A and B are shown apart, each in its own frame.
Chain A
Amino acid sequence: MEFLTEHFDDFVNGFFRSLSIALWGAVGSLLLGTLLAVFRVSPIPVLQGFGAAYVTLVRNTPLTVLLFGMAFGVPGLGINASFYLFGVVTLILYTAAFVCEAIRSGIATVPIGQAEAARAIGLTFGQSLGLVILPQAMRSVVPPVGSVIIAMIKNSAVVGAAGVGSDLFSVYKRMTSALGYAPLPVLTAVAVAFLIMTLSTGALLALAERRMAVAR
């Protein structure tokens, strides 16, 4: 376990780097995913079509393909950004498709009469959705969206493997190849670090679920 004591700083830095990928990924994909879900249930055909096409395309493309597509395709458009930014953006674009579908399934659990009553008192589409439908959908949305976010945290390792740099996975690569430590102990440490992230996410979700159940 000497790699841990000698390179503890690297590990801590790697952990926070991975954590920041996960956090930005979560925030971004929740926002974009919600927006896509709103598109899909909106009465405007163009938005519906865009939402459906986006989900079909992105959900059925492997994350690695999307990553390489971004890494090679986007600089060709004259946009230059760090690998970190590319990684995070790709993760958001990918995860949002799953968040969208999870939210949409939650919206479907809200009885149609709720939307009709909202419209009947003169709320606009946006108000009905934001004030009546989504708050009620959230209750059933927490578990599936939670699964999506946990999957995303694990996917962030794939983004790291694609070369984000200085995240946990890069630390692993440097330790085992350049510094020559045995892979298994290092891998175990990386796994524990990821477990810390996913398990605490799980705990937060359980808390959210319990609070939603009370608030009605």
Chain B
Amino acid sequence: MTGSESNVASTGRRPLVELRDVDKHFGALHVLRSVDLTVGEGEVVVVIGPSGSGKSTLCRTINRLETIDSGRITLDGRELPAEGKELAKLRADVGMVFQSFNLFAHKTVRDNVTLGPVKARGKSAAEARKKADELLERVGVANQADKYPAQLSGGQQQRVAIARALAMEPKVMLFDEPTSALDPEMINEVLDVMISLAKSGMTMIVVTHEMGFARRAADRVVFMADGQILEDAEPEQFFTAPRHERSKDFLSKILTH
């Protein structure tokens, strides 16, 4: 992909996440086809594309929840370790927010946020708790800290999930359709948190179909179809003058709804 290369070069950012010639199959299904992607430090990249195009898989390969068949993925210049303690350490540096929140159901909101820092980073309980309360405040759910996830609305749960990921002080945050499981009235409260996170300089890779978010917060939009990155452009350019036929087709479908 020459698009991503040129963009990073033009913005002069230090590359933080790099995928080179990444291929991945699920059995006979070729889900990622020679994917190249570079995400610079502080950059916000939105990934969009039709269902089944490999967006989630792409996201998940970056913290190795999904292994790849060939190619290279590096985080901050280091190739992803294969397994074990090293991999766990790497994952601690990559925050991930899931479509279905995946908060730990048997732990309170606060304990959800402190678990990683205490167990994976070795922070003291007091220090982790202080940080957790700050983060819960920041995402607007400080008054829910002692509740269990099931007692919260979807929007609140997703904001807790963002706080849980941020508590690890990650170098990059991955979001896989963070608002698509939410009722419409809760989408904005989550997007607002994400927008302010983007403004604060966090490096983010966001799979989403929320055009508003892409326009307001993204530096680049990456369009995927059939496991390939077909277009990699600035949001305005992508939404107003998409270059690829598939992008045009896809945009016309989601914009008419």
Contact = CB atoms under 8 A, between A and B. Distances in A.
Contacts of A113: 98, 100, 102
Contact of B165 (A118, A121, A131, A216): A121
Contacts of B148: 216
Contacts of B102: 111, 113-114, 116-117
Contacts, number: 70
Interface string B174-196: 00000000000000000000000
A117 B99 CA distance: 11
Contact of A117 (B92, B94, B104): B104
A111 to B, nearest CB: 8
Interface residues of B, number: 32
A43 interface: yes
Interface string A99-141: 0000000000001011011111111100100011001100000
A193 to B, nearest CB: 38
B104 A122 contact: no
A124 B85 contact: yes
B241 interface: no
Q: Which of A117, A118, A121, A124 is most buried by chain B, counting CB atoms within 10 A of its CB?
A: A121
Contact of B168 (A43, A121, A132): A121
A215 interface: yes
Nearest to A138: B106
A116 B116 CA distance: 13
A136 B63 contact: no
A120 to B, nearest CB: 4
Contacts of B25: none
B17 interface: no
A216 B161 CA distance: 18
B103 interface: yes
A117 B103 contact: yes
B105 A114 contact: yes
A111 B98 CA distance: 13
B119 A131 contact: yes
B120 A123 contact: yes
B164 interface: yes
Contact of A120 (B65, B83, B84): B65
Contacts of B115: 121, 123, 131
6 contacts: A113-B98, A114-B104, A116-B65, A122-B92, A123-B116, A215-B106
Interface of A: 43, 111, 113-114, 116-124, 127, 131-132, 135-136, 215-216
Interface of B: 63, 65, 83-85, 88-96, 98, 100, 102-106, 115-116, 119-121, 148, 150, 161, 164-165, 168
Given A120-B63, A122-B92, A215-B106, 10 more contacts: A117-B96, A117-B164, A119-B65, A120-B65, A121-B115, A121-B116, A122-B88, A122-B93, A123-B115, A132-B106
